[in-house]
Amino acid sequence: MEREGRVEVEKVGGRSTVTRCFSKYPLKFIIPRKVGPSKTDAVWVYNLTYGGGIVSGDSISCEFNIGDGCTTVLTTQASTKVYKSVGFKCCEQVLEARVGSNALLAVIPDPVTCFSTARYSQKQVFRVVSDSSLVIVDWITSGRHESGEKWDFDLYKSINHIFMEDDEPLFLDAVIFFFSFHFLYVSSLNIKMLSS
């Protein structure tokens, strides 16, 4: 699969540093020069899309390589908006990441917000070693309440897999919501957000 984005972080002069960054439409990375105190050794990467969301039929794939001893935070500037599906087309995002020895990757985006009839699929695959650290936040809102949309999307699928460097599964997680009568029940409970 052709990648729309790639980021590599390595130690340069004793600090975590982005040594390679590539993105193409509809994906864009913003990497601020300074976040937090100057003694903090962490690279912050903001993942965003042009237009502020994902359009029906989009397929976005990116790869992150976090070198030994590096710290990287992958986040967003706002919720990931998944616009209405056109002709039952699904949009998807794929993230593949390798986390080196004594390295930390924190994937802490704002929640996904699916519009009415949206169809969204996300797959995140992480490869770690025995002393890697990984933090993943995976969450979804119930929709656009101000527009009267509450659990009104057609599909939300999120897969998170973590493997050791020898491809041994460490953690396999899948969350799948599709339009059904159970959404009507969930809607009646006034639940506005879910996370795993």
pLDDT in tens, 131-163: 999 999 999 998 998 888 888 899 999 999 999
Query: Which has the higher per-residue pLDDT, 60 or 52?
Result: 60
Q: How far apart are the first and last CA of the chain?
A: 27
Mean pLDDT of the chain: 91
Burial class (CB in 10 A: 0-12, 13-18, 19+), 60: buried
User: CA geometry: angle at 138 spanning 135 and 139, to 5°?
Assistant: 140
The answer, yes or no, to whether residue 10 has pLDDT greater than 90, is yes
User: For the chain, what is the domain count?
Assistant: 1
The answer, yes or no, to whether residue 180 has pLDDT greater than 70, is no
Its domain, for residue 112, covers 5-195
Tell me what pLDDT residue 188 has: 59
Average pLDDT over residues 66-82: 96
Give pTM, 2 decimals.
0.91
